[in-house]
Amino acid sequence: MNDNRQYLVVGLFVVIATTFLVVVWLWFSASNRKTYNVYETVFSEPVDGITTNSVIKYNGVEVGKVRDIQLDSKNPRNVIVHLNILDNVPINSQTYAMMKPQGVTGMSFIDLRLPKSATSVTNLKPNNKPPYPQIMSRPSLMFSLTEQAQSLTNNVQDISSQVKILLADENVEHVSNMLANLDKISDSLAAKSGKIEQSIDILLSILQNIRTNSMKLNNTFEHLDTLTGSLSTMSNNTNDLILGVQNNTMQNVNTILLPNLNQTIMHLNQSSYQLEQLLTLLNQNPSVLVRGKAPAVKGPGE
């Protein structure tokens, strides 16, 4: 019985001690537990050296871990990386992610940076359910150097191909012929150097004459401008004279011609009336032309 009691006490002690240690561990774990927000970034390059739980740094300060990595189902060239970042870290809308090597271990970490030229004051709103807020990405330095080296290699290959074409036997022969022709031309120019100098002197003389004629032509244009001004002045004077003549003519017409014309028209009207009376009398009594007009009959009492 004593042995059973001892086993029971030992068992209870072990259970109580184990429970106490578990409680203490959970208490410390709860006190050290941190809250993270999930973000997403997409790299269009191989993510060598990045694995789950890789470090995430913001300006050199560790702010989280890589949650998971997966290929983009729509474009396998892209790699989608989900980031667990501490909830007290503000992520600006212009913050970008870039991979950086971690020493000589072959591992890499994700570095978050805010450009110096950033002007936005808006932060990404955390959302721990898909779709996650997306952080922009930039190619890593090694990837950029690799791409530039590949481009440089392609350019060198193109240049090499062009040089091979240029140095083909046919082209070399053509270049030799061109050099031979240049030698002939230089010899001909050397033989005719005197005539060339004379031609140059003649050309200089022609240019001098052209310059003199151009100066004379400028003077002629100046005279033409003066003549144009004089003609304009004369034209204005002529217009004034014509306007004065028109005014005098209209005044004479109004004061002399129109009254005389009105009086003449009145006389014509009277003559026309008298002629009309005469024609009426002749129509009624043509004998008037022989006997004359009979005296008017006297009225009663006259």
Instruction: Give CA–CA dist 126/284, Å, rounded.
Output: 129
Residue 92: the pLDDT is 93
Q: Could you please report the per-residue DSSP string of 235-280? A: HHHHHHHHHHHHHHHHHHIIIIIHHHHHHHHHHHHHHHHHHHHHHH
Q: How far apart are CA 201 and CA 216, in angstroms?
A: 23
On whether residue 144 sits in a domain, the answer given is no
CB atoms < 10 A from the CB of 51, how many?
12
Give the β-pairing of 108-113 and 55-58: parallel
- Predicted TM-score (pTM) of this structure: 0.45
Show the tokens assigned to 256: 């002399």
Which tens digit of pLDDT belongs to each residue from 146-163?
778 888 888 888 887 777
150: number of CA atoms within 13 Å, CB side? 6
3-class DSSP state of 149: helix
What is the distance between the alpha carbons of residues 255 and 217, in angstroms, rounded to a whole number?
56
Task: Give me the number of domains the chain comprises.
Answer: 1
Q: Could you tell me which residue, 159 or 292, shows the higher pLDDT?
A: 159
* Identity of the residue numbered 146: T
pLDDT over 90 (residue 276): no
* Residue 206: predicted pLDDT: 87
Predicted confidence (pLDDT) per residue in 162-209, tens digit: 777 777 777 777 778 888 888 878 777 777 777 777 878 888 888 888
For all residues of the chain together, what is the average pLDDT? 80
Q: Between these two residues, 94 and 187, which has the higher pLDDT value? A: 94
The answer to the question of residue 7 being in a domain is: no
- Residue 55 lies in domain: 33-139
- CA torsion, points 214, 220, 223, 228, in degrees to nearest 10? -110
Cα separation, 216 vs 211, whole angstroms: 9
Q: Find the helix or strand (DSSP H, E) in which 169 lies.
A: helix 169-191
Sign of CA dihedral 180, 183, 184, 185: positive
Other CB atoms within a 10 A radius of the CB of residue 132 amount to 19
Both tokens of 27, joined, read 């208490």
So what's the pLDDT on residue 70? 94
Q: Is 114 a domain residue?
A: yes
Mean local confidence (pLDDT), 46-55: 92
97 or 242: which leads in pLDDT: 97
pLDDT recorded at residue 175: 77
The reported pLDDT for the residue numbered 51 is 93
Whether the per-residue pLDDT at 289 is higher than 60: the answer is: no
State the amino acid at position 99 in one-letter form: M
pLDDT band at 31 (very low <50, low <70, confident <90, very high): very low
User: What is the distance between the terminal CA atoms of the chain, rounded to a whole angstrom?
Assistant: 200
**Count, residues in the chain:** 302
The answer to whether residue 47 sits within a structural domain is yes
Higher-confidence position of 129 and 293: 129
pLDDT for residue 114 is more than 50: yes
Once rounded to an integer, what is the mean pLDDT over residues 59-68? 93
167 belongs to a structural domain: no
**Quick check: is 185 in a domain?**
no
The whole-number pLDDT of residue 1 equals 54
